[in-house]
Amino acid sequence: MKRNFFQFVAIAGVLLGGSLTASAAERLRVNVPFSFVVAGLEFQPGQYTVDENNNGVITVIGGGRGAAVLSVPAESKAGTANSLRFVSVGHEYRLVGLQMEGEVSRALSTPTFQERKLSIATR
């Protein structure tokens, strides 16, 4: 089965008039207006706190749920705006990236699913 991936970039000013803000040490407070998935957990639309620690662990907390996922540097140049990056898979959005102002963007490790066919010959 082939799936089309569409990137959806949520930046300051897009999410309900600038509700994406940075605060103390690598922390974003964000209002996400759609359901999304992080680390296999589904989060409903609402207010979330997204943290990045020095080891590249990203945590998402809000709506009575929380998830932590490892990230890796995605680009070599520093970004200019705080943002979250989502991809659309079918009817589902998955958080796949994070950009903190003045830092390189981070890609979240997400499981990729591949469909494979195995043929077994019988005699």
**Residue 65, pLDDT score:** 93
**Residue 90, pLDDT score:** 86
* Structure-token pair, residue 58: 């990203």
**Residue 104, pLDDT score:** 85
Neighbour count for residue 83 (Cβ, 10 Å) = 21
Position 16 pLDDT exceeds 50? no
User: Which of 57, 54, 34, 30 lies closest to 44, judged by CA?
Assistant: 34
Angle (CA) 47-63-91 rounded to 5° is: 80
Position 40 pLDDT exceeds 80? yes
